[in-house]
Amino acid sequence: MRAGFAWHWPERFNIAQACCDDWAAYNPDRVAITEITEDGATDWTYGALKDASDRLASAFKAAGVVRGDRVAVLLSQSAAVAITHFAAMKLGAVALPLFTLFGEDALLYRLADSGASAVVTDAESLPKLLNIRAQLTDLNSIFCTTARPQAKAFWTEIAEHSPLPEAIDTSAEDPAVMIYTSGTTGPPKGVLHAHRFLFGHLPCMELTHEGFPQPGDKGWTPADWAWIGGLMDMAMPCLYYGVPLVAHRMRKFETGAAYALIAAHGIRNLFLPPTALKLMRGTPVPAGVNIRSISSGGESLGAEMLEWGKTALGAPINELYGQTECNLCITQAEGFMAVKAGTMGQALPGFDVAVFDDQGRACAPGEMGEICIRKGAASMFLRYWNQPEKTAAKFRGDWLRTGDLGSQDEQGYFTFASRDDDVITSAGYRVGPSEIENCLMGDVDVVMAAAVGIPDPVRTEVIRAFVVLRDGATPDAARLIARVRSRISPHVAPRDIVFVESLPMTATGKIMRKELRNI
């Protein structure tokens, strides 16, 4: 497959056109999204998505959104997310997905850094935006899906505006989406992707989902669409292929509710983070579950979990590998290759992946080095937002440096060894310590802070913070944990805090987190 593959995409291309408008022209009554809420299920056809996104694009235009502007999407899984993405893209603007659990500090950083001109949110997240709006000089408009006096009414704006007469013509290389990294090596960076990056996800989608699409397929993922995994490993490819997509927000992942959803709505294709799969393993699979394919990524599952998937769920779990800057470049695909448990699999068609040592020399089979990806893959990012020096540092010649260590055997199978020492992998999220530490050190009692990952059988790692307090301060772990939970996000809040007199430091003043993990 790799030998016979070459990337081909049109010079002029727009994700909204391919994932919405083309289907609306061909079969406007085809179901695109089934939205599940407390009030029941609502089917959104491609025709309805096109009409709503055309009208929202007109509303955005009236609010001053122009080509190249960033439009933030602070919403949970819903049809409104797709409508907002498509409306922004039809204006040549850049969609900026944001996680609804982000606190005010996390939102302020990303919205200010991106210079977002508009935000679409819901009533639950609106107060956070209002509290920081005065600091966001570029933010002109807030749209809220529930009518509130402090924001434009999302659905009313759609109803009252005429459809956009004509979408902006974009090239495949024009910016389409910006997704912030988790801040694994310093502050989060805005990863800017072109419209062509949709194509970069299709080889993996077709292989990991065993010849996707097949008649009767229907997709769902519990992963939030604010992350590249939820958005591009399931949501957008389903819409592109015309496969019905289930949108359902799970405030907390519950295995019983997940199984019930899969059975009730005939979901056959799933992207499930490893933590979700580990939790599901502890619950008997009920009748009515008929899964055809599962993909998973973020952490290694191991041979036992892969075997459980086949025996209990009746479908292979195909592991995949990628990162925000270049997603879905390596995979296991049981229907198309021999699976080697413990490895990530082989490079996908269209991706040239290799392992290099510190000097940039190719490693011998089995030798440890850095996993790198050659330029030219469709899912490779354009650049980091406003950080040309970081963009340049991400590459060595024609090769993107992932920062992940691993090896490749004689048959081309890659084995993951570790990320950079500072990265924490918890419940499928790759968490950078800097944002947590900065939040903790914003407290008047905290002098220094360091966050590390501690091994955990279910979540891979849980977050532990080490804190040095000012003289005379009273240790209050609960208060500091609550600070991170509210200001950044619950998913990065430390499980516990250890108060220490000092932190181990290098001669140049860098925290030695490796030593902290051994305490």
pLDDT of 50-91, one tens digit each? Answer: 999 999 999 999 999 999 999 999 999 999 999 999 999 999
Taking residues 479-498, report their average pLDDT. 93
Span 147-176, pLDDT tens digits: 999 999 999 999 999 999 999 999 999 999
Residue 277 carries which DSSP code?
A: H
Does the predicted model carry a pTM greater than 0.85? yes
Which range, 201-210, 451-460, 481-490, is most confident? 201-210
Q: What is the pLDDT of residue 418?
A: 62
Reply yes or no on whether the pLDDT at 185 is more than 60: no
> Cα–Cα distance between 441 and 98 in angstroms, integer?
24
The pLDDT of residue 358 is above 70? yes
Identify the pLDDT of residue 421.
58
pLDDT at 288 over 50: yes
Closest of 274, 322, 281 to residue 300, by C-alpha: 274
* pLDDT tens digits along 201-237: 999 999 999 999 999 999 999 999 999 999 999 999 9
Alpha helices in 68-144 (DSSP H): 79-90, 104-114, 126-132
φ, ψ at 434 (rounded to 5°): -60, -45
Determine the Cα–Cα distance for residues 68 and 62; give it in Å rounded to an integer: 15
Bridge-based pairing state of the strands 326-331 and 293-297: unpaired
Rounded distance between C-alpha atoms, residue 511 and residue 519, angstroms = 14
Residue 504 in 3-state DSSP? coil
Distance CA 203, CA 208 (A): 9
Helices (H), 344-470: 388-393, 433-441
- Confidence band, pLDDT 50/70/90 cuts, at residue 143: very high
Question: How is residue 481 written in tokens?
Answer: 């944990």
- Within 13 Å, how many C-alpha atoms sit on residue 75's CB side? 27
Which pair of structure tokens corresponds to residue 469? Answer: 């307090």
Task: Give the range with max mean pLDDT: 97-101, 179-183, 306-310.
Answer: 97-101
Provide the sign of the torsion angle of the four alpha carbons 316, 269, 90, 94, taken in this order. Answer: negative
For residue 399, is pLDDT > 80?
yes
What's the longest Cα–Cα distance across the chain? 70
pLDDT at 438 (0 to 100): 77
And the tokens for 366?
A: 């089995």
Point out which residues pair with 171 in neighbouring strands. 12
Q: Give the β-pairing of 175-180 and 190-194.
A: antiparallel
- What are the pLDDT digits (tens) for 236-270? 999 999 999 999 988 888 999 999 999 999 999 99
pLDDT for the residue numbered 258: 96
pLDDT in the model for residue 506:
58
* pLDDT averaged over every residue in the chain: 93
Mean pLDDT, range 265-286, rounded to an integer: 90
Residue 97: both structure tokens together = 């997905």
pLDDT at 422: 67
Choose which CATH entry (3.40.50.980, 3.40.630.40, 3.30.70.1350, 3.55.50.30) describes domain 11-180: 3.40.50.980
More confident residue, 270 or 492: 270
* Type of residue numbered 382: L
Tell me how far apart the alpha carbons of residues 4 and 367 are, in angstroms, rounded to a whole number: 28
| Confidence band for 368, pLDDT divided at 50, 70 and 90 | confident
**What is the model's pLDDT at position 508?**
45
For the record, the structure tokens of 417 come out as: 């060894």
Where does 110-243 show beta strands of DSSP type E?
Answer: 118-121, 141-144, 152-153, 175-180, 190-194, 219-220
176: left (phi over 0), alpha (psi -120 to 50) or beta: alpha
Architecture of the structural domain at 425-517: 2-Layer Sandwich (3.30)
Spatial distance between the Cα atoms of 351 and 408, rounded to a whole number of angstroms: 15
Query: Is it the case that residue 512 has pLDDT exceeding 90?
Result: no
**Torsion-angle region of 22 (φ positive above 0: left; ψ -120 to 50: alpha; else: beta):** alpha
Task: Give the start-to-end residue ranges of the domains of the chain.
Answer: 11-180, 425-517
Kindly give, in sequence order, each residue whose CB lies less than 8 Å from that of residue 370, ignoring residues fewer than 6 positions away: 355, 356, 357, 358, 401, 402, 403, 404, 405, 406
Helix (H) or strand (E) holding 57: helix 46-62
In order of 49, 169, 285, 299, 390, the CA distances from 32 in angstroms are: 8, 24, 27, 30, 38
